[in-house]
Amino acid sequence: MHESIVERLAAEAIRRGADLLDVEYQDGYEHVVAAKGGVGHSIATFRSSSPEAVTLREELHRIAKSKHRITVDGSQYELRGSVYESFGEDAFRVQLRRV
């Protein structure tokens, strides 16, 4: 089974104890931050024009329309996405909830 970019990033964030992924555009890059309790750590950066960034944004738009579930280390998590505007660009927030 093919693991998506969002699934890979969400799994890394969950393993770091995060309950939120934020993805924002800045200076030609998509910055991915794993956060919990208002404290975040950068876990990935993609050049916005790269195929990976294009795929990442497509996956994030899909998750914003419909919840998605993944399994991380034997536990199921629900990914709930939303899209918001940040300085004229789409930004994304994905809540990571254990179910």
Per residue, the 3-state secondary structure of 45-72, as one string, reads: EEECCCHHHHHHHHHHHHHHHCCEEEEE
Radius of gyration of the CA atoms of the chain, in A: 13
| Res 3: pLDDT | 78
As a CATH number, domain 5-98 is 3.30.450.90
Q: Which tokens is 77 given?
A: 């998590």
Pick out the chain residues at pLDDT < 50: 1
| Res 25: pLDDT | 95
Asked if 68 contacts 78 with a C-beta cutoff of 8 angstroms, the reply is yes
Q: Which tokens is 47 given?
A: 């050049």
| Res 2: pLDDT | 61
Show me where the domains of the chain are located: 5-98
